[in-house]
Amino acid sequence: MRILLTGPPLHGHMTPLVAVGSALRVAGHDVHVLCTSEFVASAEERGLTAHLYRAAWSADEFSVPRVDVASRRAHTVFDAYQKSAASHFSDLVARILPGVVVADTVASYVRDRAGSAQTAWLSPTAVSHEVVATPVVAGRRQPVLVALAPFLQAHAAQLPAHVHLIGTEPPRGPEPAASRSRLLVSAGTSFNDDLTLFVDAATAVDGTDLHAVIATGSREASTRLERRLPRADVRAWVDQATELSRAAVFVTAGGAGSIQQAVLLGTPLIVVAQSHEQRGYGAAIEAAGVGVVLDPARVTPDVLTRRIQRLRSSRRVREALRARAAEIRALDFAGCAVRVVEEAAA
């Protein structure tokens, strides 16, 4: 079966979409993805056929400097994405004639442009009533895959039958190190204009047995920080799974994919939440016992030092990480995704 994937050019959205595509490819399907240049390599590495379009902006350029403009900026960005991708999507559907389209839930243009293809939806974030109210086709709602573990989705047990929690793809990389000597710090691609968090985190472990590895999500930010933090390992991008397998603690803005990857690799979390959604995930990881959430305005090197020490020494946190990791693995990310998409085509 020929399957077409489409979603906005942001890492938090494209990473689970490409992972679902990879599972479908392994299951024997002909999988295509409409994407911007920064995702071509990862798609092709997984055996997907990439179709390039040019967006009005790129993932490297997307940045939200302040919390209070995050929602407004996100809407602006997604509007630009819709305009950039819609016509390319229509042309591609007419050209390759997919049997199924798997679309990110923000790709609203798919609803009237998928032609005769069946549609399944993928959400990389917690879903609301509006998101799960998908069109009814042949007496059944179009299915929604949610790339979250139950502990990150409010009211998970009450989700309707066409909504499927699939968690995240298990990390591809080394097994967790027996001795963890690093502090991994990342603010993702959305909240990296303010470098204060990176500086505070590096200062927090200065003179300790931990070495700070900082992923800025921005080449320009990395250049600025390298001069200020000569003892830290500062990079624009890192192989997150590899670094998490070596990290004693992960300081993060709190994206869902990053949280789940850290849990699977047994790395406790400090979530410095920058958006309403991330604050929700922060509260969820505290309730699950796998980390703590901090208000960005109250983060200092001393506060981070104390939190790092507590997380590293807590047996209860280690046990909670093992339990939540087992919960994610039990969802069977690849198997569930393939089953739901194949059923959508039936």
Q: What's the pLDDT band for 11 if we cut at 50, 70, 90?
A: confident
The position carrying tokens 């320009």 is 220
pLDDT above 50: residue 65: no
Average pLDDT rounded to a whole number, residues 216-235: 89
Quick one: what percent of the chain has pLDDT higher than 70? 91
pLDDT at 120 over 90: yes
Residue 310 has a pLDDT of 97
Q: What pLDDT is attached to residue 41?
A: 95
Q: For residue range 303-342, what is the model confidence (pLDDT) as tens digits?
A: 999 999 999 999 999 999 999 999 999 999 999 999 999 9
**Distance (Å, rounded) from C-alpha 151 to C-alpha 36?**
32
Q: Edge-to-edge, what's the strand order for the sheet holding 30-35? A: 49-52, 30-35, 2-6, 100-104, 118-123, 144-146, 163-165
Q: How many residues does the chain have?
A: 346
Asked if the model's pLDDT at residue 61 lies above 50, the reply is: no
- What confidence score (pLDDT) does residue 85 get? 86
By C-alpha distance, which of 191, 190, 189, 237 is closest to 214? 237
Does 86 have pLDDT greater than 80? yes
38 phi/psi in degrees, rounded to 5: -70, -10
Amino acid 219: pLDDT: 83
Q: Convert the pLDDT of each residue in 229-277 to its tens digit.
A: 999 999 998 999 999 999 999 999 999 999 999 999 999 999 998 888 8
pLDDT tens digit string along 136-192? Answer: 988 899 999 999 999 999 889 899 999 999 999 998 877 888 889 999 999 876 556
Residues contacting residue 47 through CB under 8 Å, at least 6 positions apart = 22, 25, 26, 31
pLDDT score for 184: 98
125: nearest Cα among 201, 12, 212:
12
273 φ/ψ sector (left φ>0, alpha ψ -120 to 50, else beta): beta
Q: What is the torsion angle, in degrees rounded to the nearest 10, for the CA atoms of residue 24, residue 27, residue 31 and residue 35?
A: 40
Q: What domains appear along the chain, each with residue ranges and CATH number? A: 2-167+331-345 (3.40.50.2000), 182-328 (3.40.50.2000)
The predicted model scores a pTM of: 0.91
Lowest-confidence region among 109-123, 191-205, 224-238: 191-205
Contact 258, 252 (CB under 8 A): yes
Q: Which two tokens stand for residue 134?
A: 């998908």
